[in-house]
Amino acid sequence: MNSLASLVDRTLVSHAPFQAAVREIETWFEFALEASEPICVALIGPSRTGKSRVLDVCERQHPKVRREDGMYVPILRVTTPSKPTVKGLAEVLLEGMGAADATRGTENERTRRVKYLMRNTGTRMLMIDEFQHFFDKGTKLIMHHVADWLKILVDETRCALVVAGLPSCQTVIDSNEQLAGRFHAPILMPRFSWQDAEQREEFIGILQAFHQVLSQHFQTPEFQREAMAFRFYCATGGLERFSCYCIVYPQWANQADALLAVTWARAWVRAASRLCRVRALAERSCCLIFDQACSMGLKSGE
Ligand SMILES: Nc1ncnc2c1ncn2[C@@H]1O[C@H](COP(=O)(O)OP(=O)(O)OP(=O)(O)O)[C@@H](O)[C@H]1O
Ligand SMILES: [Mg+2]
């Protein structure tokens, strides 16, 4: 079905940081078997910058397959439980490999099964999303025991490790000397800056890509025109997903394919009503521009 929302969801924009991240992970995947010690890399960025989507794309290039001699899981991708323990992490890894009874067994038993299955399913890369859960924001405690366990796991299974998450991931890595020593420089997923010409172009390029897809099905305003792009930028704090929300939002609000009817001004006013939430996410440097744009937009009723 080509509803506006599903078209937006299906659209993948290969902007430069996205491509670079996919390419680097792909390189480590290829290199994993030859490396003398496990390759570890962190994919780090603020929320909604596309980290999980990067993992998605890489995982799809090397999907799990069932062969005659059993499952083949070249990339084992899991999400860190919200309060990670060795048992909990082992459980999600076992689930990821399709093991029956993933919830059974002591810590040691589960660990043994994880290692056995990773070797037997040909796992070459382990991806752990939401890695910042290894750092408890409330107590400021780092889950050292699980981090140590992970280090031993990748050492023994010789697979590459990709962890993804918010910038607090780096605290977890840095706090464990042995883990830190195994990590390459992080791959950064940035929030786009309007002041930086190159990043502004990237952001506008994303809007253009959405326009290209949507305009084949709907009469679509030119999101990529600089004045409009700037408003999108202000309403999103430079995050592509919020751009998606802004594009889709008029439809949700009106319960119809209303993009046809939605004027630019209405889209802007609706986007502006979301600003309070977005504002909390905007980096300090964005705030000034953001305030000005907001008052400009609201005063002129645009
Ligand atoms: N390159 C892209 N093209 C199109 N849509 C994208 C792209 N990157 C991300 N998105 C969309 O933006 C949304 C946010 O992306 P994603 O969930 O990957 O962000 P994240 O960095 O993992 O956020 P969080 O830290 O909150 O988990 C998703 O709906 C995703 O489909
Ligand atoms: Mg994510």
For residue range 96-105, what is the model confidence (pLDDT) as tens digits? Answer: 998 888 899 9
**Where do the DSSP E strands lie in 18-119?**
40-44, 65-67, 70-72, 75-79
Looking at the chain, the domain(s) classified CATH 3.40.50.300 span 16-188
**Contact call for residues 105 and 113 (beta carbons, < 8 A):** yes
Q: Could you write out the DSSP letters of every residue in 167-185?
A: TTHHHHHHT-HHHHHHB-P
How high is the pLDDT of residue 159?
A: 93
Separation CA 59–CA 45 (nearest Å): 19
How high is the pLDDT of residue 178?
A: 86
pLDDT > 80? residue 86: yes
Residue to mutate, 9, 18, 53, 189, ligand 1, most ligand atoms under 8 Å from C-beta: 53
* 9-13, 81-85, 107-111, 116-120: the lowest-pLDDT one: 9-13
Note the pLDDT tens digit of each residue in 191-202.
888 888 998 898
Torsion angles phi and psi, residue 135, rounded to 5 = -115, 115
Question: Measured in angstroms, how far is the CA atom of residue 128 from the centroid of ligand 1?
Answer: 16
Average pLDDT over residues 77-100: 93
How high is the pLDDT of residue 155?
A: 92
Of 261 and 83, more confident: 83
Of 165 and 241, more confident: 165
pLDDT > 80? residue 79: yes
Average pLDDT over residues 40-45: 95
Residue to mutate, 240, 245, 246, ligand 1, most ligand atoms under 8 Å from C-beta: 240
Question: Measured in angstroms, how far is the CA atom of residue 189 from the centroid of ligand 1?
Answer: 10
Separation CA 49–CA 86 (nearest Å): 29
pLDDT-derived band at 19 (thresholds 50, 70, 90) equals very high
- CATH superfamily for 16-188 is P-loop containing nucleotide triphosphate hydrolases (3.40.50.300)
Q: Which residues line ligand 1 (CB under 6 A)?
A: 11-13, 15, 18, 45, 47-53, 166, 240-241
How high is the pLDDT of residue 269?
A: 43
Question: Measured in angstroms, how far is the CA atom of residue 61 from the centroid of ligand 2?
Answer: 19
Ligand number, closest to the Cα atom of 44: 1
Which atom of ligand 1 approaches the CA of 166 most closely? 25
Separation CA 214–CA 207 (nearest Å): 10
pTM of the complete model: 0.81
How high is the pLDDT of residue 4?
A: 64
Bridge partners, residue 164, by sequence: 43
Question: Measured in angstroms, how far is the CA atom of residue 291 from the centroid of ligand 2?
Answer: 28
